[in-house]
Amino acid sequence: MDKDVLLIYPEYTYPRKNQPIGLAYLAGYLREHGYQISIIDFNVTEMTDLEFEDHLKSKNWVVVGVSFMTNQFAEAKNIISKVKKKTPSIPIVVGGVHVSSIPERSFDELPGIDVVAKGEGEQTLLELCNLYSVDRTPSPASLLEIDGVYIKPDQEVLKAAPRAAIEDIDSIPFPAWEYFEPVKYNAFGIHGNDTPTFLLFSSRGCPFVCSFCDSQTIFSRSFRGRKAENIVAEMKFLHDKYGTLSFDFADDLFTTQKDRVYEICDAIENTGIPFQWMVNARVDTVNKELLSRMKETGCVRVDFGVESGDEFVRHKLGKDKISNKAIRDVHKMCMDMGLHTGSFCMVGNLGETKSSVHKTVALMKDIADDVMVSIAIPYPGTDLYTEAKSKGLINTEDWSKYATAPTYTKNYKPVMRNENMTEGDILNAYFFLHSAFIKQKFTQRYGKYFLINGKFFRDFLLKREGFFRRLSMAFKLVVSRVKLARNPLQYRSQS
């Protein structure tokens, strides 16, 4: 019986060095059930096309699994085409947030795929592997006995029963990080410590309803938290194996349940290990006492989804209970206790105007944050996509163009406009915001902790992040500032 499974992670449209934690979970789950795993992450591999083809033909794979998000679509399509051409008899299973959002449509857009696995993939992929390992050409009826499966045996897409979310996520094996070389990812630790940073999920699911978020297509809106002891056991395991002290909690919302956060803090403190960690939070799910306890036990940074400085826009995005005052108050709490913060904000949201952009700049300057700017993207499966499509505001559904970072994309054009701003307005707003905070961003993220550390220049800037790509980005930002200076009314006037 064949037991070899190949898992593939396509390249992003922009530089990204986070470990693919979803693939690591799949690998750990399959390995626990006796499968031999091979993983190719095209964001870090040095494998040539010829070597990839040789690897495809090196074993009689039970399945080839490809997991990806919308901004990896073009690369995923290319990979799927190569796999089907070189190994036509090997079944291709696709999963991840993109195909989970539009499973039926994916069969037409990704020629060569055999199965779409919708939702959390561990159990679905295992059951598919168990079936394909004994029957290379299973009947549609056999495949449809597996929850979460979509197939297209003829002209019609058929779907199985939905895959229920895994309730006891403590039962899921730890991610199989041994398939990923830490030095190729976040080798530079949080705030300058000299150990690799690992992603870590302490929970799955988010109960909030943000219009732009597509995470619920995988994890649902049902919050499921791991026990503190289970989380800390994983942290200690990675510390013992890799020497790491740095963890980036990848939960959609780490602070969903305050009591649980206190339990995690207590468990981390009880290890006696000086872990450093960072989380994602909402300002309406934290308070001074909680933030203080997090900092006491090693939390060094909290990232908040501010989204916009215009409360009207933010409320349309589903954050109607968050005011600018609340944002300022929470950031001041963090600043006063020495806890670093980051803020995600977007331009081009529905209902936004040029005046909204100025409000965002004003708010971001008030909170003196590490500002991370992106362009609003109507990802399939989101309420934003549904509303924008109904209003005729989506310019294209060529998923290869659904990137959030114009600085890394040649001839970038926003895929969505809004009622008040053209594509050009949105693009200019992005560069206006980005250039307004580039000095603040560099100081917050690099200056204090990195500029005095030679390892930052040697391993992080020059080798890992791509020196010339970053130089190109800086040049684009300078050019954008010159353009804005030549047209001062474009964003300096309220409209």
Q: Which domains can be identified in the chain, with CATH numbers?
A: 4-159 (3.40.50.280), 181-492 (3.80.30.20)
Query: Residue 15: what pLDDT?
Result: 67
Kindly tell me if the per-residue pLDDT of 439 is higher than 80: no
SS3 (DSSP) at 38: strand
pLDDT in tens, 137-179: 999 999 999 999 999 999 899 999 999 999 999 999 999 999 9
Query: Residue 221: what pLDDT?
Result: 86
Q: How confident is the model at residue 190 (pLDDT cuts 50, 70, 90)?
A: low
Q: How confident is the model at residue 494 (pLDDT cuts 50, 70, 90)?
A: very low
Of residues 294, 371, 387, 384, the one with CA closest to residue 327:
371
pTM of the model: 0.88
Query: Residue 437: what pLDDT?
Result: 76
Token pair belonging to 492: 């300096």
Mean pLDDT, the chain, rounded, equals 88
Residue found by looking up tokens 């190729």 in the block = 184
Query: Residue 495: what pLDDT?
Result: 40
Kindly tell me if the per-residue pLDDT of 198 is higher than 60: yes
pLDDT in tens, 82-120: 999 999 999 999 999 999 999 999 999 999 999 999 999
Query: Residue 486: what pLDDT?
Result: 43
CA 377 – CA 415 distance, rounded (Å): 7
Query: Residue 188: what pLDDT?
Result: 52
pLDDT in tens, 463-474: 444 455 545 545
Measured in degrees and rounded to the nearest 5, phi and psi for residue 162 equal -60, 150
Q: How confident is the model at residue 398 (pLDDT cuts 50, 70, 90)?
A: very high
Please tell me the total number of residues recorded for the chain in this structure. 495
Query: Residue 39: what pLDDT?
Result: 96
Strands of the sheet containing 197-200, edge to edge, are 197-200, 246-249, 276-281, 299-307, 340-347, 370-375
Greater confidence (215 vs 448) lies with: 215
Q: How confident is the model at residue 444 (pLDDT cuts 50, 70, 90)?
A: low
CA 78 – CA 10 distance, rounded (Å): 9
pLDDT (average), residues 271-286: 96
Which DSSP symbol is given to 214?
-
Q: How confident is the model at residue 372 (pLDDT cuts 50, 70, 90)?
A: confident
CA 320 – CA 277 distance, rounded (Å): 29
